Chain A
Amino acid sequence: MIKLNKVSKWYGNFQVLSDCSTEIQKGEVVVVCGPSGSGKSTLIKTINGLEAYQQGEVHVDGVHVGHSHKELAALRARLSMVFQHFELFPHLSILDNLTLAQIKVLGRNRADAEAKGLKLLARVGLKEQAAKYPGQLSGGQQQRVAIARALSMDPKAILFDEPTSALDPEMVNEVLDVMVELAKEGMTMVCVTHEMGFARKVASRVIFMDKGNIVEDRRKEDFFNSPHSERAKDFLAKIIH
């Protein structure tokens, strides 16, 4: 359902992405890893049009991601994203964080949006926090709210950009547990993460990036057991202590 074909992007003379191609099927969980600065965030942001690119093509559900603003908004409502720094809206209550886009983008009425929001908060174990503000929650709780917010749009796929790397270690698992559950329910997920435990447990594929290139794009067993490239070997050696 997500297809990247030779996507390239430059910042001035600096090439952030070079000829990146991959295809992600419905229900797949794809983990994207690689050294910092290798272009992982940039790559997944081209999928929902948050980053423009200069060459190649991105298609989501047959819709070309690139030019028309109208299509872009519709597309973004169907592809949700979870960010490293949560990016909850600090001036809105937890529940309002979950209802804003449902009401303004999907046109749901407030009662339905709130019912849906509360159901999703219950699902991530935070129903009691509905009336609080993001600043009153721990990092792990905020990220679970962010996942609930992503789900409130009934997305066809969710993009995760290092969802646990800004968290204190003791909070990583509460977020990963929610993600594992989502994966098991068949959600299509693209996750930039260095949590290799998560990758081993639920990933169908691993994409390894280096310097803007997709160096490996393989079934997880193959990637972990016999990485082709030296860079991936080094990377794995460093990350799995």
Chain B
Amino acid sequence: MNTVELLSMSAPRLAMGALITVKFAVAAMVFGLLLGAVVAVMSISTDRLLPACARAYVSVMRGTPLLVQMFVVYYGLPDLGISLDPTSAGILTLTLNAGAYLSESMRGAILGVGRGQWSAAHSLGLSHYQTLRYVVGPQALRLAVPSLGNTLISLVKDTSLVSVITVTELLRSSQEIIAATYQPLPLYIAAALIYWVLSTVLSAVQHHVEGRLTLQTR
């Protein structure tokens, strides 16, 4: 079988795999951004306990390998009576991991908005949360877009790790085809190309968003 035949024959399965990869990436992005926002807000709270919880969470998630986190959630949690199917376990782990990085980007961006904006908002009677919601948050988001974009691009690539918990996403699809055809090089390259296309699309979206956000302020 020549390479062209091989790839055209594998295309439907690779496409299915890519679709599942996108599904994992999008789910983890949406939940990760929500989680990141909550953790970022906790981390700048004036309360004592909340920032400590946020710091501990971020430290653990950033200080341990995603692969190990994946194993703990999928193979470890059943010991505590929590059995998750591979899809839920994968999305949960990716969300928890990305949430930590995203929260750090957001926290940095919130701190990057000057103290004077807080004072001005407070002097008008806005509460802490109103100030975050209407004054500091929107400005922080603009500052955070580049670094959020980088994390989300990493996330697309990190989805390949859910292959180890039996999810047939892009990487595992190509591995299954390789197992039947013994032609690793073209298939791995095809998989790599698809990841590259996905990341490039996301990076284009990031630039588009950045452009629109700057247009609105000037």
Contacts and interface: CB of A to CB of B under 8 A. Distances in A.
A76 B216 contact: no
Interface in A65-89: 73-74, 76-77, 79-81, 83, 85, 87-89
Interface string B94-118: 0000000000000000000010110
A91 B139 contact: yes
A87 B18 CA distance: 47
Contacts of A149: 124
A50 B131 CA distance: 14
A43 interface: no
Contacts of A74: 125
Interface of B (DSSP majority class): helix
A153 B124 contact: yes
Interface in B40-55: none
A70 B94 CA distance: 40
Contacts of B138: 91
Contact of A48 (B123, B127, B130): B123
B217 A89 contact: no
Nearest to B123: A81
Interface in A45-76: 45, 48-50, 73-74, 76
B120 interface: yes
Contacts of A85: 116
Interface stretch (A97-105, A180-188, A199-207, A216-224): A97-105
B217 A87 contact: no
B124 A136 contact: no
Given A73-B125, A77-B124, A104-B130, A91 B216 contact: yes
A88 B217 CA distance: 12
Interface residues of A, number: 28
Contacts, number: 69
Contact of A153 (B114, B116, B125, B130): B125
Given A76-B124, A77-B125, A104-B130, A91 B217 contact: yes
Contact of A76 (B114, B116, B122, B218): B122
A14 to B, nearest CB: 19
B116 A83 contact: yes
Contacts of B124: 76-77, 80, 100-101, 105, 149, 153
B157 interface: no
B217 A133 contact: yes
A136 B218 contact: yes
A87 B119 contact: yes
B159 to A, nearest CB: 33
Contact of A87 (B120, B134, B142): B120
Nearest to B133: A104
A90 interface: yes
A35 interface: no
A125 interface: no
A37 interface: no
A105 B142 contact: no
Nearest to A149: B124
A91 B116 CA distance: 15
B161 interface: no
Contacts of A91: 138-139, 142, 216-217
A81 B122 CA distance: 10
A19 B138 CA distance: 40
Contacts of B120: 81, 83, 87-89
B135 interface: yes
A153 B130 CA distance: 16
Interface of B: 114, 116-117, 119-127, 130, 134-135, 138-139, 142, 216-218
Given A85-B116, A89-B120, A136-B218, 5 more contacts: A45-B119, A76-B124, A91-B142, A101-B121, A105-B130
Interface of A: 45, 48-50, 73-74, 76-77, 79-81, 83, 85, 87-91, 100-101, 104-106, 133, 135-136, 149, 153
8 contacts: A79-B123, A83-B119, A87-B120, A89-B139, A91-B139, A105-B126, A105-B130, A133-B218
Q: Which 4 A-B pairs have the closest CB atoms?
A: A77-B125, A87-B120, A101-B124, A105-B125
